[in-house]
Structure 1
Amino acid sequence: MDDDLIVVTGASGRIGRRLAFRLAAEGAHQRLVVRSADRAPDLPGTETEVALSPGYADVEAMRAAFAGARTVFLVSGRESADRVTEHRAAVDAAVDAGVERVVYLSFMGAAPDATFTFARDHWATEEHIRASGLRFTFLRDCLYHDAIVRFVGEDGVIRGPAGDGVVAAVAHDDVADVATAVLLDADGHAHDGRAYDVTGPSAYSLAEAAQELSSATGRTITYHPESLEEAYASRESYGAAPWEVDGWVSSYTAIARGELATPSPVVRRLSGRPAQSLQEWLTLNPQEWAHLRA
C-alpha cells in the first residue's frame, strides 16, 4: 500500500476535476478515475496516474482503480434508479482493495426520510460506508449555485414548489477546497467519523436568486412558486421516469421545508477563506450563466 496515494473518482466532473488540480498544486500523489483517458485532467509534472472504469458497478475495474491506495475520494454516481447499488459496489471494492479511508461526497440533510428523494440515496450510501469498517468523512454539500441557475426556464422563469423557502447553496470551488483540506489533513484522523454540511455563506430565496440573475444578465428573471400539482404537471412533457421527476420536484420542496436553509461555517473553517455568495459566484463564473444573457 502507498500511504500517500489518493484515488479521486469522478475526476472529469465538476468537483473531481477541481480537486485533482488542487491536490496536484499541493504535490499529492493521486490516481484519477475516469470513464475515458481523454477526459482526465492534464496535470503535468505531478505524480498522477489514470485508471479507467465504465462505472461503479464494474467491481473488477474499481478494485483495480483502488489497488494500493489508502484513501479514496468517492464522488456520488450519476442519478439513477440503482445508484445506491452502484455506490455499495464501489464501497465494497474499496474494502476488497485494502483501502483504509473514504471521503464521500454526500448531500445536506441526508436521511432516510429526507424530503429530497436523492438525499435518501446518500443516506443509504453513508450507512453502508459506516458498516464497512472504513474510516470515513462525509461532505454533505448543499445545492450548487449553478443548479439554481439551471432552474431558470427558457422563458426566464424559475418554476418550482419552493414557496418562500431559502437555500444555502454552495460553489463547486468551495466544496473542492474543503475536500482538499480533509484529504490532506496533517493529523490524518482529525476528520474521521465526521459529517460536514458544506454550504454557502448565507441562504437566499429563489425570488432573491431571480433578482440577482436579473442584475447579472440584464434580462428579467422571475420566480413562480408552483403548487405540488403544478410542478408535476409542468414536467410531464419531459417524459422522464417517475423517480427522476420525484427528485426534481423534491429539490424544491426540500427548500420549502427549510431542509437546505442553514449555512455552515465549514468552508471558512477548513479552507481558511469565506464561501462564495451567489453574487460573488456570478461574478467569478460568467460562463456558467452566459446562456441567460439578454
Structure 2
Amino acid sequence: MSTTPAREAGRSHAPGPGVLAVTGSTGELGGRVARRLADAGVPQRLLVRAADRAPKLPGATAAVADYGDADALRAALSGVDTVFMVSAAEEADRVTRHLTFVDAAIAAGVKHLVYTSFVSAAPDSTFTLAHHHYATEQHLHASGLSHTILRDNLYLDFLPSLAVDGVIRGPAGEGRVAAVARDDVADVAVAVLGEPGRHAGQTYDLTGPFAITLEEAAATMTAVLNRPYRYEQETLQEAYASRAHYGAPAWQVDGWVSTYTAIAHGDLAEVSDRVERIAGHPPIDFAEVLRRLAPEPEV
C-alpha cells in the first residue's frame, strides 16, 4: 500500500458518507457496489447517462450526467457528500473526462471522492492505459478534495475474455498477475464509502490471494469450466499483427498488448493484503470466480 497525504484545504468531513452518489451502476463494478449498498439499506444517488438504464434498487434515485458534461455533473452531484467514481471507459479523451468529473465534484461541493485506479499507475507504466489513471490521481492529489484511491489489479472476471477459441495469446511469458475479483473490489469500496473519513488520503492496492501465470489461468479454466484452454506465447510483433484486423486505433492496441507485457515485466505480480484488511475477508481465487460466473445447471 502507498499512502498519499490528504489535502483537504480546511474542509471538514463527517465520519459517515452523508449523501452518497455512485457512478457506473449499469456496469460490472459499479453495479456490484450499488447492489451491496441497497442490500444494506443505504440510500444512494445513481449517476447514469440515461435514466431508463438505472437499476431499480430500493433507496436509490437516478441523476443523468455524462463524465464529459460539466454542467450536468454539477447538477447531478449537487448536495452529494461522498461519490464513488468508477474510471471511465477506455477512450481517447478519458483523462479529460476524468478531470472534468473531479472538477465538477469540487464545484458541486462534494466532500470526498473514491476513485478506481490501477495498480501500476505511473507516467512510465508498462501498461499504457495506466497512464490515464496516473494523470487522474495527480489531479486528485492537487485538487484539495479529500479522496481515496483504489488501485485495482486486473480483474479475475476479465481473464476468461482473453481467450479466443480456447486460447489466450499474448507476450506475457511466465510473468504473474495478482488479479482480483470484482466482488472483492466492491466489498472494499462499500467499506470505504461507509467510513470515508477513516480512509481519506489513502491509496490501496487491491489484489487476489496470489499471483498466477496465464498458463495457470488457462489450466484453471480447463478444470473448472470443463472445456480445454491453453496459453500461447506471442512475440511483440506477433501480438500487434494478430490484433491488427480489429481496426482499433493505435493507442487502444497499445493498451491491449501492454496488458501482457506488464505481466511479463512483473508489474502486476505483487500481492496485497488490503482486501482482507478493509473488507474483512480473504480475497477469492480464480477458481471461485469462475464458479460464480458459470451459469446455473438446468434442472
Match of 2:27 among 13, 19, 25: 13
Q: Tell whether the 8 Å contact from 2:157 to 2:290 is kept in structure 1 after alignment.
A: no
| 1:216 and 2:240 are equivalent in the alignment | no
Question: Quick one: which of 24, 28, 31 aligns to 2:38?
Answer: 24
Establish whether residue 173 from structure 1 lines up as the match of residue 183 from structure 2: yes
Superposition deviation, residue 26 in structure 1 = 2.4
Give the Å deviation of 1:30. Answer: 1.0
CA distance in 2, matches of 1:140, 1:21: 21
Among residues 68, 86, 93, which one is paired with 2:97 in the alignment? 86
Q: Deviations 1:9-37 (Å, cap 9, x if unpaired)?
A: 11111111111111122222210011122
**Is 1:142 the equivalent of 2:153?**
yes
SS of the aligned residue for 2:121 comes to coil
Partner of 1:56: 67
Aligned-partner Cα distance in 1 for 2:29–2:228: 31
C-alpha distance after superposition, 1:41-99 (max 9, x if no partner): 2113x2x220012x211111111111001111111001011100000000010011011
Q: TM-score, normalised by structure 2?
A: 0.91
Q: Higher relative contact order at CA 8 Å, sep ≥6: structure 1 or structure 2?
A: 2
CA drift at 1:217: 2.5
CA separation in 2, counterparts of 1:244 and 1:180?
31
Question: Do structure 1's residue 194 and structure 2's residue 206 form an aligned pair?
Answer: no
Partner in structure 2 of residue 272 of structure 1: 280
Comparing 248-257 with 17-26, greater Cα deviation is found at 17-26
The separation in 2 between residues aligned to 1:131 and 1:217, in whole angstroms, is 46
**Alpha-carbon distance, 1:147 to partner:** 1.6
- Give the whole-Å Cα distance in 1 for the aligned partners of 2:129 and 2:88: 11
Distance 1:160 1:207 in 2: 11
* 1:107 alignment partner, one of 94, 97, 118: 118
SS in 2 for 1:115: coil
Tell me whether 126-135 or 18-27 shows the greater mean CA deviation: 18-27
Whole-angstrom CA distance in 2 between matches of 1:276 and 1:39: 30
> Does structure 2 retain, via aligned residues, the 8 Å contact 1:4–1:28?
no
Answering whether residue 89 of structure 2 is matched by residue 75 of structure 1, we say no
Q: Distance in 2 between matches of 1:15 and 1:88?
A: 20
For the residue of structure 2 that corresponds to 1:49, the secondary structure is strand
Residue-by-residue CA offset, 1:180-210 (whole Å, 9 max, x unaligned): 000102xx42211111011111110000011
Letter in 2 for 1:144: Y
1:104 CA drift (Å): 0.3
In the alignment, the residues of structure 2 paired with residue 218 and residue 224 of structure 1 have an alpha-carbon distance, to the nearest angstrom, of 19
Q: Please point out which of 201, 204, 214 is paired with 2:212.
A: 204
Structure 2 partner of 1:286: 294
The yes-or-no answer on 1:130 pairing with 2:161 is no
How many angstroms apart in 2 are the aligned matches of 1:74 and 1:61?
Answer: 15
Counterpart residue type for residue 161 of structure 1: P
Displacement of 1:219 in angstroms is: 2.4
- CA drift of 1:176 comes to 0.4
Aligned-residue RMSD, C-alpha:
1.7
5+ residue gaps, structure 2: 1-12
Distance 2:227 2:29 in 1: 30
Distance 1:219 1:69 in 2: 47
Task: Calculate the TM-score normalised by the size of structure 1.
Answer: 0.93
Offset from partner CA, 1:247-279 (integer Å, 9 cap, x none)? 000000000011111111111111111111001
1:119 deviation in Å? 0.6
Contact 1:51–1:65 (8 Å) recurs in 2:
yes
Give how far 1:40 is off. Answer: 1.4
Q: Percent identity, aligned pairs only?
A: 53
Aligned equivalents of 1:248, 1:211: Cα separation in 2: 22
- Contact kept? 1:4, 1:29, Cα under 8 Å: no
C-alpha separation in 1, matches of 2:276 and 2:293: 20
